[in-house]
Each structure stands twice: as structure tokens, then as C-alpha cells.
Amino acid sequence: MAVLQFREAIRAAMVEEMARDENIFLIGEEVAEYNGAYKVSEGMLDRFGAGRVIDTPISESGFAGLGVGAAMAGLRPVVEFMTFNFSFVAFDQLVNNAAKIRYMSGGQYAIPIVFRGPNGAAGQLAATHNTAVESLYSYFPGLKVVAPSNPDDAKGLLKSAIRDDDPVIFLESESMYGLKGEVSDAADYLIPLGKARIAREGADVTLVAHQKSYWRALEAADRLAEDGYEAEVIDPRTIRPLDIDAIAASVRKTNRLVVVDESNPFASFSSEVACQVQERVFDWLDAPVLRVTAKDAPAPYAKNLIEYYMPRTEDIVAAAKKALYAR
């Protein structure tokens, strides 16, 4: 084990995989000469050369599509978006080409590609730079969506994503790149996609949360413990496929569920979890499934507004207490 920043864990996963398989290459804006907009790919140009660590012009649609074509032709591209907010100009490449070509070709072509980069809010950046995309991309059959919360998961999941033969949307976070944690340095450290992690055990209420919200949920669990309530915190880690079995098992134990998600609330990850849980374990629920999400509005700029806009620890505590019918 070594203590690594989140960005270093991502880099370690890419470096190890690229050393293992020369069909893997990294392409995106500022990934090579600049060493990465958020220094995720620092040193990789020197190690692997310009043939495998490739700078692009600001052409998300172009280089995302180039990645899809390269994947169809047998390579394994890792495409970095400087943020996933910029993936929207490449939307067609992700949701039509990456997601559907295998299907439309009757299984003839695989698309082993990873699109990775920061997701969600990163402070006072206003509406276009603060979108959490997991609800959006997980809508599309054909895509997988991964959203790790800590450096160790980031490494193990990214290595699995790179080896996966399906297109994977791999979500990181600007504000979490400096987060430090113990990271396995075991050879072939692979965490399977689609497996949730029980981060904290508890019998009173289940909190499902990923990425930044995960850390808020852990804080909320501490505060709830001070009031005598033991929350179980589940980090789904992968949004699609979703480990609904782990969530349902927890709800059978706690009978109460709060889903925390920095997506907007309408037609989102949180609504999906709520729906699936009531379909599967309705009889175990002692309270409605509650949600703590970004507000149903574009992200604002003003400091007080954006702080209010995002899921806060106190919002999670309040929702949990509501589910517990506690004061």
C-alpha cells in the first residue's frame, strides 16, 4: 500500500495498463506537453512518447469519434475530457457511436474505450461547468458508468475499465484530485465494475452516495451516530451496471433509504435507485425513499447559492432523520 492522491491513483492505473498493453493510448486536450490540465497525466508523455500520449485541439466531437473508430479497429483508447461538461459537444459520439455500434452491428464490433475526466460541480463555475453527468450517460444501454469516491477504488476500477471490452464513462472530480488515500500496489489490482462497497455498517438507515456526496454522507453518518442512529453507507462505485442487490440487501436490514446524488433530481440516478428499491423491497420499507440532490435548477455562481445548491451534510442528516421519523 502507498498513500497516493486521487490523481496519482488514476495515473498509476493508466501507466500500469499502458505498460502492459501497447494498444492502449491516452488522447485529449493538454494531456501530453502540458502534463494534464489537472496533472493527472503528468510524466506520461516522457514515459510513453507522443505516439501514445496525444494532445488534441479543442475538438471533443472529433477526438471522441476518433477514439471510437480506433477502438472498433482494435485499439483501446483512453479519451480524456478536460471536464465532462465538454463531452456534450461530443454527445453523438458517446451515446450513438460508442453505445450502439456493437448492437447495430449484431455484435461484430466491440468498442473497448474509456472516456474519463472530472464530473460534477467544482465550485463557483456557474451552470455550464457544474453538470453531474452520471444520470445522463447511465440512461444509455451500451455504456457503463463508473464513479469512484477514493483513490484506491479509482485505481482498481480504472484498470478494470481499461480492460473492459465495453465503452466506459469514468467519472472523476476536480475537487477530489488532491484527495489522499491508501492505494493498493498489488499487481493486477482490479476492482470489478458493478460491485458496490459497504463503507460503513449500520442498522438504522441506509445512505447511498458516490463521489463527493459520499464524503458528505460519511460526515452525516458521524453526526447521526452522535444522536444514536447508525447509518449504513453504501458507495455504489459503478452507476451502470448498478449493484442494486447490495442496496436492496441493506434496505432489508435498515428499512430506510436516503439517496445522495449531485445530479439534478428529475429523471436522475436518485430517482432510479428509489424506483428500483420500491420495486424490489417495498415491503421492507418503513418510510418513503428520500433523496438529497442538487437543486432542480441550473448551478448558480454566487457563493452562498452554489453552497445551498449542492447536497450538504446537514441536508443528508435532515433527510435521514425524516426517514427515521426522528426529531
Interaction site with other proteins (CB under 8 A): 25, 51, 54, 56-57, 59, 61-75, 77, 89, 92-93, 96-97, 101-110, 112, 141-142, 144, 164-166, 194, 241-242, 244, 276
Of 69, 60, 4, nearest to 30 by C-alpha is: 60
**Nearest distance from residue 164's CB to other proteins, in Å?**
8
Nearer to other proteins, 22 or 222 (CB): 22
156 contact partners, CB below 8 Å, separation of at least 6: 13, 184, 189, 190, 191
CB 213 within 8 A of CB 311: yes
Residues annotated as catalytic are 60, 129
Nearer to other proteins, 89 or 285 (CB): 89
Tally the C-alpha atoms within 13 A of residue 122's C-alpha that lie toward its C-beta.
Answer: 20
Buried b (16+ CB within 10 A) or exposed e, 110-120: bbbbbbbbbbb
**Nearest distance from residue 192's CB to other proteins, in Å?**
10
Diameter of the chain measured on Cα atoms: 61
Nearer to other proteins, 109 or 215 (CB): 109
Of 169, 137, 147, nearest to 235 by C-alpha is: 147
Nearer to other proteins, 185 or 279 (CB): 279
**Nearest distance from residue 102's CB to other proteins, in Å?**
6
What are the angstrom distances between the C-alpha of 299 and each of 87, 94, 176?
Answer: 18, 24, 19
